[in-house]
Amino acid sequence: MKKPETKLLLDALLYEEGHPRRTQHILKVYALAKLLGECSGLGEEERQILQAAAILHDIPIKYCKERYKGDACQANQQKEAPGLVRDFLQQAGYPPDYLPRVLELVVNHHCYTGPHSQLLQLLIEADLIVNAYEEPLSEEERVYVRSLFHSDAGKELFLLQDQRKT
């Protein structure tokens, strides 16, 4: 029997049907979120929630592109996330009480203002690091994104990427 996290990751990758960018993005954000969570000393349950959210953070994109004729804007993703996240977590065997916490992270991972829970902050940082590698940032964007980091490991990793300046 597969662990819930293993099943969730496999299900998410199969759902993407080999789409190169989305498949690789899931894997990269998942790996960085796992790393940041461990570096931050999260407990087991918090790591499981963070890692599940990292796997599912962009899961609504495919569905929204199909349902809304290519429009996977944040509003559409936030609207469709609850059902998709619930289905994926249930199929993978996660406890029901994980759903609200994972969903909160998925829905809010692009909300950069305001105070964040530690888990949301780590997911945001993992996603921002990967996004910066995937899409070069202007100098103005770099300065702004750099200001969003709070974890020591996230700051160090973004600094490495930031120094690269593609």
Question: In this structure, what CATH number is given to the domain that contains residue 33?
Answer: 1.10.3210.10
Which of 21, 3, 15, 14 lies closest to 84 in space, CA to CA? 15
Rounded-to-integer distance, Cα 164 and Cα 159, Å:
9
pLDDT digits 0-9 by tens, 120-155: 999 999 999 999 999 989 999 999 999 999 999 999
Tokens of 100: 């609200």
Contact assessment for residue 117 and residue 42, using Cβ atoms and an 8 Å cutoff: no
Rounded-to-integer distance, Cα 110 and Cα 131, Å:
12
Q: What is the pTM of this model?
A: 0.95
Owning domain of residue 86: 4-164
pLDDT digits 0-9 by tens, 28-75: 999 999 999 999 999 999 999 999 999 999 999 999 999 998 889 889
| Domains in the chain, number | 1
The packing angle between helices 139-147 and 152-164, to 10°, is: 170
Residue 156, Cβ density class (10 Å: 0-12 exposed, 13-18 middle, ≥19 buried): exposed
* Residues 65-91, mean pLDDT to the nearest whole number: 93
